Protein backbone atom coordinates (compact mmCIF):
# COMPACT_ATOMS: atom_id res chain seq x y z
CA UNK A 1 0.00 0.00 0.00
CA UNK A 2 1.29 3.47 -0.86
CA UNK A 3 1.99 5.49 2.28
CA UNK A 4 2.86 8.82 0.72
CA UNK A 5 5.10 10.66 -1.70
CA UNK A 6 8.79 9.66 -1.72
CA UNK A 7 10.25 12.23 -4.13
CA UNK A 8 9.79 14.01 -7.45
CA UNK A 9 12.48 13.99 -10.14
CA UNK A 10 12.74 16.60 -12.88
CA UNK A 11 15.14 16.38 -15.82
CA UNK A 12 16.84 19.73 -16.46
CA UNK A 13 19.38 20.95 -19.01
CA UNK A 14 21.33 23.19 -16.62
CA UNK A 15 21.63 22.13 -12.96
CA UNK A 16 23.06 25.48 -11.83
CA UNK A 17 20.26 27.53 -13.41
CA UNK A 18 17.60 25.16 -12.08
CA UNK A 19 19.15 25.21 -8.62
CA UNK A 20 18.69 28.98 -8.52
CA UNK A 21 15.01 28.53 -9.34
CA UNK A 22 14.48 26.01 -6.53
CA UNK A 23 16.66 27.72 -3.90
CA UNK A 24 16.11 31.42 -4.61
CA UNK A 25 12.64 31.23 -6.15
CA UNK A 26 10.97 28.52 -4.07
CA UNK A 27 13.19 28.57 -0.95
CA UNK A 28 14.23 24.92 -1.19
CA UNK A 29 17.33 23.75 0.67
CA UNK A 30 20.03 21.89 -1.30
CA UNK A 31 21.10 18.75 0.53
CA UNK A 32 23.13 16.83 -2.07
CA UNK A 33 25.17 17.43 -5.23
CA UNK A 34 26.63 14.41 -7.04
CA UNK A 35 29.12 16.47 -9.00
CA UNK A 36 30.41 14.62 -12.05
CA UNK A 37 30.73 11.25 -10.24
CA UNK A 38 27.09 10.44 -9.71
CA UNK A 39 25.41 7.27 -8.58
CA UNK A 40 22.49 7.56 -10.98
CA UNK A 41 21.97 7.99 -14.72
CA UNK A 42 23.44 11.51 -14.77
CA UNK A 43 24.63 14.26 -12.40
CA UNK A 44 21.94 15.09 -9.88
CA UNK A 45 21.09 17.38 -6.99
CA UNK A 46 18.62 16.86 -4.16
CA UNK A 47 16.58 19.54 -2.39
CA UNK A 48 14.09 19.71 0.45
CA UNK A 49 11.07 21.91 -0.21
CA UNK A 50 8.67 23.13 2.44
CA UNK A 51 8.57 23.24 6.19
CA UNK A 52 7.29 20.80 8.77
CA UNK A 53 8.09 17.25 9.71
CA UNK A 54 8.21 15.95 6.14
CA UNK A 55 9.45 18.44 3.53
CA UNK A 56 9.27 17.28 -0.09
CA UNK A 57 12.35 15.63 -1.58
CA UNK A 58 12.99 17.14 -5.02
CA UNK A 59 15.59 15.57 -7.32
CA UNK A 60 17.01 17.34 -10.36
CA UNK A 61 18.89 15.27 -12.93
CA UNK A 62 20.86 16.64 -15.84
CA UNK A 63 19.44 15.77 -19.26
CA UNK A 64 17.42 16.92 -22.23
CA UNK A 65 14.47 19.17 -21.35
CA UNK A 66 10.87 18.36 -22.22
CA UNK A 67 10.31 19.03 -25.93
CA UNK A 68 7.06 20.93 -25.37
CA UNK A 69 4.80 22.37 -22.72
CA UNK A 70 1.53 20.92 -21.49
CA UNK A 71 -0.93 21.46 -18.65
CA UNK A 72 0.50 18.46 -16.76
CA UNK A 73 1.80 20.04 -13.58
CA UNK A 74 2.73 19.79 -9.94
CA UNK A 75 0.91 22.12 -7.53
CA UNK A 76 2.61 23.18 -4.31
CA UNK A 77 0.62 24.51 -1.36
CA UNK A 78 1.46 28.06 -0.32
CA UNK A 79 -0.06 30.47 2.17
CA UNK A 80 -2.09 33.22 0.53
CA UNK A 81 -0.03 35.93 2.26
CA UNK A 82 3.18 34.55 0.67
CA UNK A 83 1.96 34.32 -2.93
CA UNK A 84 2.99 37.80 -4.12
CA UNK A 85 6.49 37.62 -2.57
CA UNK A 86 7.10 34.27 -4.23
CA UNK A 87 5.82 35.62 -7.53
CA UNK A 88 8.31 38.51 -7.29
CA UNK A 89 11.22 36.12 -6.60
CA UNK A 90 10.27 33.95 -9.57
CA UNK A 91 9.85 36.95 -11.87
CA UNK A 92 13.32 38.17 -10.83
CA UNK A 93 14.73 34.79 -11.96
CA UNK A 94 13.07 35.15 -15.36
CA UNK A 95 10.68 32.21 -15.26
CA UNK A 96 7.74 32.28 -17.65
CA UNK A 97 4.57 33.08 -15.73
CA UNK A 98 1.40 31.63 -17.20
CA UNK A 99 -2.01 33.23 -17.14
CA UNK A 100 -4.06 31.52 -14.44
CA UNK A 101 -7.21 29.66 -15.37
CA UNK A 102 -10.64 31.01 -14.50
CA UNK A 103 -11.84 29.81 -11.10
CA UNK A 104 -14.97 29.86 -9.04
CA UNK A 105 -14.64 32.12 -6.01
CA UNK A 106 -13.64 30.31 -2.84
CA UNK A 107 -11.34 27.61 -4.23
CA UNK A 108 -8.08 29.46 -3.60
CA UNK A 109 -5.67 31.47 -5.73
CA UNK A 110 -3.00 30.05 -8.02
CA UNK A 111 0.20 31.14 -9.66
CA UNK A 112 1.34 29.05 -12.64
CA UNK A 113 4.85 29.16 -14.07
CA UNK A 114 7.10 27.16 -16.38
CA UNK A 115 10.65 26.41 -15.37
CA UNK A 116 13.48 26.63 -17.90
CA UNK A 117 12.85 23.05 -19.08
CA UNK A 118 9.11 23.23 -19.87
CA UNK A 119 7.85 21.81 -16.54
CA UNK A 120 4.68 23.53 -15.35
CA UNK A 121 4.28 24.29 -11.65
CA UNK A 122 1.47 25.83 -9.67
CA UNK A 123 1.54 27.57 -6.32
CA UNK A 124 -1.94 27.15 -4.84
CA UNK A 125 -3.46 28.71 -1.73
CA UNK A 126 -6.53 26.48 -1.41
CA UNK A 127 -7.16 22.99 -0.11
CA UNK A 128 -9.04 20.00 -1.49
CA UNK A 129 -11.66 20.43 1.22
CA UNK A 130 -12.27 24.07 0.24
CA UNK A 131 -12.59 23.17 -3.43
CA UNK A 132 -15.01 20.30 -2.82
CA UNK A 133 -17.13 22.44 -0.49
CA UNK A 134 -17.27 25.19 -3.11
CA UNK A 135 -18.22 22.74 -5.85
CA UNK A 136 -20.90 21.20 -3.62
CA UNK A 137 -22.40 24.66 -3.08
CA UNK A 138 -23.19 24.82 -6.79
CA UNK A 139 -23.15 27.90 -8.98
CA UNK A 140 -20.85 26.55 -11.64
CA UNK A 141 -19.52 30.00 -12.57
CA UNK A 142 -16.23 28.94 -14.13
CA UNK A 143 -15.42 32.44 -15.28
CA UNK A 144 -15.39 34.06 -11.87
CA UNK A 145 -11.80 35.24 -11.28
CA UNK A 146 -10.22 34.82 -7.86
Active site residue ranges? 44
The whole-angstrom separation of Cα 45 and Cα 41 is 12
The whole-angstrom separation of Cα 103 and Cα 75 is 15
Cite the DSSP H helix spans in the chain: 15-20, 83-93, 128-136
Query: 135: closest CA among 107, 111, 97?
Result: 107
The whole-angstrom separation of Cα 77 and Cα 125 is 6
The whole-angstrom separation of Cα 97 and Cα 112 is 6
Amino acid sequence: MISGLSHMTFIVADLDRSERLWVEGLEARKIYDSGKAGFSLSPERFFLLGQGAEPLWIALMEGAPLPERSYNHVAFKIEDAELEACQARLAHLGVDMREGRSRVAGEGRSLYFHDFDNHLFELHTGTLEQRLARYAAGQHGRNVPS
